[in-house]
Amino acid sequence: MATIIRGLLKGYHYMNTEIADPRVQDWFLMGSPWPGLALLTFYLYFVQSLGPRLMKDRKPFNLDRLMQIYNIVQIILSGYLLYKALVLAWLWDYSLYCEPVDYSDDPKAVEIAGTVWIYFIVKVIDLLDTVFFVLRKKSNQISFLHVYHHTGMVIGSWAGVKYLPGGHGTFLGLVNSFVHVVMYGHYFATSMKISRPWWKKYITQLQLIQFVLILVHFSQLAWIEDCGFPRWPALIFVPQNLFMIVLFGDFYYKTYVRKSKGKAVATNGVSNGIAKATSNGKPAAPKTD
């Protein structure tokens, strides 16, 4: 038993210290995985159990003003991350095929690592999306896809800061930040009553394109000659993004394709009924029970 415990402690030290980036060890939530795991545990407990129980006999909170402010903050943060990712890396310096992480103390390398950390903090802030659903009693929007996606993004971005704060993996942050500018822009427009329902369809399409781009980008690591960026992230992000494509694709089909077919069938049925009634010389009237 003592041997097992020593082995576990040695493995923990290896994962948390030896292979971690020493530059980020003192940054908020980066010293060890436990604070982040505690936060995620409480998040899951609140949205799945505690929150719904607290709201069971209460009226939904009116959070319109708070959510407008929240959406604006998210647009600003995501826009800032998009700008930094372009200026610091992807416009000029980074290769789309494979880019190693610069672990040096060069000011630009440290700034890139800091930007990755801010991206992680934004993913933590994103958890408020679900909290707002609970407080507004929008339980139908707290799907497995929603909770899984938010939880996975926090875990993945934390690991990104801890082990790979820069290089090839930051393409994910670049694309995702752009998507979030559009998405939270839509949420803000909706809260201001200036949105249109058909926008949602194209935002889901944009999210699917995002997962395809990230899938292709990480897949390159499997066949490109070693450039200094490890291949193991591909083993995580390739199946992960395939899974997200399946989940979002299923959501898109059920929400926009199947419903459209149902409406088309219903419309054709009504049209055929009207035509039949008209051909019999009878006026068409809605059926009443």
Rounded CA-CA distance 175/260 in Å is 29
Can you give the three-state secondary structure of 148-165, one letter per residue?
HHHHHHHHHHHHHHHHCC
- Coil/strand/helix, residue 195: coil
Longest dimension (CA), the chain: 91
Rounded CA-CA distance 111/97 in Å is 22
Rounded CA-CA distance 27/24 in Å is 5
Q: What is the pLDDT along the chain (289 residues), one digit of tens a residue?
A: 888 888 999 999 999 999 999 999 999 999 999 999 999 999 999 999 999 999 999 999 999 999 999 999 999 999 999 999 999 999 999 999 889 999 999 999 999 999 999 999 999 999 999 999 999 999 989 999 899 999 999 999 999 999 999 999 999 999 999 999 999 999 999 888 886 666 788 899 999 999 999 999 999 998 887 888 999 999 999 999 999 999 899 988 988 887 666 555 544 554 454 444 444 444 434 443 4
Rounded CA-CA distance 30/20 in Å is 10
Query: Could you give the C-alpha distances from 68 to 134, 183, 187, in angstroms and in order?
Result: 17, 13, 8
Catalytic residues: 149
- Coil/strand/helix, residue 8: helix
The DSSP string of 215-274 is HHHHHGGGTSPP-SS-SHHHHHHHHHHHHHHHHHHHHHIIIIIHHHHHHHHHHHHHHHHH
CB 130 within 8 A of CB 51: no
Record the pTM. 0.87
If phi over 0 gives left and psi between -120 and 50 gives alpha, with beta otherwise, what is residue 185?
Answer: alpha
